[in-house]
Structure 1
């Protein structure tokens, strides 16, 4: 199967990288994209997207459980926001909200073991908002994490084999005025850019921006704008307010910021991956500026992912793409192999 025939974009990236490196790639089970077999010379390695035989089972389970992972990171002195886990909207949840509010902060509410932003609500401030957020999160998990909400920007730092290979900033969609076009015209232009043709096929860079989206109209109104407003040249118009917002409903722009990482933050990301023993890790950090050393006073590590997505590191909406799929394929073949692999010598021994 050619990589362009695969449904999963992550698999397409990896298969394309393997092909360019002279490594054969095929589905382990025809018609099933859960596992791919990469073959180089007389060695074959089975992978599940960005998970390989080098990821210990316990590490993958820890990454899936945000409470356990955060506890380990916190015990090692890494900046992790205060958090608790509840199963419902109870007195413990309300008390935690009150204590966080008294310190001048708000909450983010998220399923304990879900991914991809499902059921995550940001900047929760009131008991009513808390009840709604917990109800939304409960759709995806029986256990729900309440965590101090960190103001700032969202960053994903990708670590492969103990090295930071890419970093991407994610920000709610915005537009920059030119002094000529209306906001409505800017939205139409942005929507024409939301789909990009790439070597792995068409890629949706961000969700379409609907002019009648209540979240967008509310944000515009708060800034004193309408769709007919013509913003001044250079004026940045934010399209989403994050207060009490479900992250899955926010269209985000991705921007490569690999070269902006402060050395301190590079070391923190590597350390977070090492603590959980995850060889290919996506470290989610929230802070105002990734080029400034991260401390608990100015940001925090939100979670560590054991199945990080490569797509927007390779094809960011803004900035330079990074060849992280190539780095991954090279990595899994460049070390001693202990896992679901076959070699010609192994096959010969199994016959005798």
Structure 2
């Protein structure tokens, strides 16, 4: 007897484009058992309990396309698999992964559904799906469910697993509809990302790129060396020197003139930087604290004004933010620590995670802030008088966008500083009283040049306009509209995929492109087989796309791979569907009908880029029907030149590869050109092997679409042997 339960039968991660969407998803096959007879409107109190658990479900539009649409479906009656889809998506949203694709579709088995949700990260999305199932069951069974604790757990997991905000904004800009640059995450839980494929790819790690040299980064970490280089090129810097003891620090302060700044020679992110020091006690105390944050200590002139961070990308200033102080005001009853929690850490912009633009302030962990409190005569446990303002943080807190206020000469000076250090992307810190005036008018100076600057302050400023810094970095890495792509050719169908893939790869190699091939015969780099065995897999294709020597990539894609893992590439230049034998594809992955097979095979056609081409067998009505789904050109192939689909296609001036008078012909509109005699093509068995003739035609059509020369195509097909 079936129980009222939701059971996971299978859960698979489709890590690339699939039958559902272009994006990675988790596909769960679930059995709802006796709940098949219990839509939401017949479960007493269920809808109210679910809405109480997740009030934000009101934002789900569902099939009605309007706010509250999903709740309307609940009231009218919908099934637990569909409900679990929406609940899982909302848990993802609450965990910091907004939006996303979702579907719930019944299989041919009663009570068995496929639930599909957008996967930002496999582990995180699986956890959201499992939590979604538990929440739905709790609502059905009228038992408690701790939503806040669940969301906190999922959010913590997302913060640890997903791309950080800096890397994320660059990847988002790359993969936007405007640029369509593919992205591959090279570390499952890290921020190392490849943008583009093969030889045209670039790499980023947060806001560092493969153009960020190790020498430049090393220079930027050495504050004294950076200052010397900047000073030698006429960039204004604060006077100062490295010191080797607390006594030497005070001597330097006396030479420079008070007030001074004491900071590590190789620190970053403002750690260990003590400013506006006026006494020997302050200087010597700051020396000891700064030494703990770096390998040495520098003392330099204190510059009056606010601290500013200018983001330089490719020699241009892209964004600028001003730092603000943080202070508390005494109420006569709360300690400094308590006031910090009440008045500073309560700011929603502050948090421990990377997504927050400001850090939580904890005096016991922040010697600079503790120093500020101490110098004002307080301890963390002191209770300041009512109305007394106590400064907590003097520098940092870059949350105010001031990009439009920066004087052109200041922007040029910051850009020069980045070039002197050698950084393609730099965060240049400068201090001045008025950023709209030249630095020399106000004794302003550049105090640091940082590699790998954080971008969050520019993406989500507290005040002012958010700046498209991710787009600027992408424009720097991929100028003039470059999309970072090499030709990718994907082949699917029922038969002949391996032969077509090998022949296409051969033609591309002969044309001079270093070509990678992943097929059932192995993984090939040009004509060398580097891995034997079946390599028509997501993993093998992924390795080829990461190979920075590859100039073209050819992939065989079986339907089981499409259904079980998705495709390794986001889009392709050429998509080939060889033929269709429905019986070969049914009985697995809940594929049971010709319509199901159509849905699987069309995936290859859906991925063709607008400037690419789908190569389709005109002998197959199902494939002719797919032609309208292609964003690019369609090139038909068929041994029979008189097929209605070929005739109609050519009447529209479009291309086809056919056989006439024993010759392979390239047909464009009403014109035809002979490429080679079938009798001269070994693969066709003297023109008698119909299946191999179609394979040759498909490969020739792909090469034609890729502008491979006729001589190369002819030589390739006349010298290719199936073994």
TM-score range normalised by the length of the shorter chain: 0.7 to 0.9
Tell me if structure 2 keeps the 8 A contact 1:173–1:253.
Answer: no
Contact 1:156 1:285 in 2 (8 A): yes
Tell me: higher relative CO, structure 1 or 2? Use CA pairs within 8 A at least 6 residues apart.
Answer: 1
1:166-208 per-residue CA deviation (whole Å, 9 max, x = no partner) reads 00001112699xxxxxxx99985765542389xxx99434345
Q: Which of 148, 162, 172 matches 2:301? A: 148
Q: Which residue of 2 aligns with 1:165?
A: 318
Relative distance call for 1:119 and 1:342 in structure 2 (3 A) is farther
Residue number among 387, 391, 405 corresponding to 1:260 in the alignment: 405
- Does residue 156 of structure 2 align to residue 2 of structure 1? no
- 1:329 alignment counterpart: 474
Counterpart of 2:266? Answer: 113
- C-alpha contact (below 8 Å) 2:164/2:354 kept by paired residues: no
Q: SS of the residue aligned with 1:301? A: strand
Q: Is the 8 A contact 1:195 1:203 kept in 2?
A: no
Secondary structure of the structure 2 residue equivalent to 1:303: strand
Q: Which residue of 2 aligns with 1:97?
A: 253
SS at match of 2:293: coil
Cα distance between partner residues in 1 of 2:294 and 2:254: 24
Separation (CA, whole Å) in 2 of partners of 1:238 and 1:295: 32
Q: 1:342 to 1:71 in 2, by over 3 A?
A: farther
Shift in CA distance, 320/336, structure 1 to aligned 2, threshold 3 Å: closer
Local SS of the residue matching 1:133: helix
The CA deviation string for residues 124-176 of structure 1, in whole angstroms up to 9 with x for no partner, is 22222222111111112222111111111000111111111100001112699
Change (3 A) 1:294 1:135: same
Describe the SS at the equivalent of 2:471: helix
1:194–1:208 contact (8 Å) kept in structure 2: no
Displacement after TM superposition at 1:260 (Å): 0.4
Alignment match of 2:172 (pick from 16, 29, 40): 16
CA offsets per residue over residues 214-242 of structure 1, 9 Å max, x none?
75798799xxx96754x9xxxxx774474
Q: 1:297, CA displacement in angstroms?
A: 4.9
Instruction: Note closer, same or farther for the CA distance 1:346–1:125 as it changes in structure 2 (3 Å cut).
Output: farther
8 Å contact kept, 1:196–1:202: no
Aligned counterparts of 2:250 and 2:195: Cα–Cα separation in 1: 51
- Confirm whether residue 195 of structure 1 aligns to residue 346 of structure 2: no
- From 70, 74, 86, the equivalent of 2:227 is 70
Deviates more, 1:323-332 or 1:8-17: 8-17
Inter-partner Cα distance in structure 2 for 1:195 and 1:34 = 22
Residues 204/271 of structure 1: CA separation in 2 closer, same or farther (3 Å cut): same
CA contact (8 A) 1:273 1:281 kept: yes
TM-score (structure 2 length as normaliser): 0.39
Q: 1:303 to 1:191 in 2, by over 3 A?
A: closer
Distance 1:210 1:145 in 2: 25
Structure 2 residue 445 is matched with structure 1 residue 293: no
Compute the displacement of 1:6 (Å): 1.2
- 2:204 pairs with 1:47: yes
Of structures 1 and 2, the larger Rg is shown by 2
1:152 and 1:288 in contact (8 A); partners too? yes
TM-score (ref. length: structure 1): 0.77
Structure 1 partner of 2:419? 274
Once the 2 structures are TM-superposed, how far is the Cα of residue 342 of structure 1 from its aligned partner?
A: 9.5
Q: Which moved more, 1:253-262 or 1:38-47?
A: 38-47
Deviates more, 1:13-22 or 1:298-307: 13-22
Question: Helix, strand or coil for the counterpart of 1:80?
Answer: coil
Change (3 A) 1:218 1:106: closer
Q: Is the 8 A contact 1:79 1:296 kept in 2?
A: no
Question: Deviations along 1:32-88, whole A, 9 cap, x unmatched?
Answer: x15211126973222222111222322121111111111111011111111111233
Partner Cα separation in structure 2 for residue 155 and residue 190 of structure 1? 21
1:65–1:190: structure 2 CA closer, same or farther, 3 Å change rule? closer
Q: 2:321·2:403 contact (CA, 8 Å) conserved in 1?
A: yes
C-alpha contact 2:433 2:442 (8 A) present in aligned 1: no
Correspondent of 1:27 among 185, 188, 205: 185
- Going from structure 1 to structure 2, the CA distance change for 1:216 and 1:7 (only over 3 Å counts) comes to farther
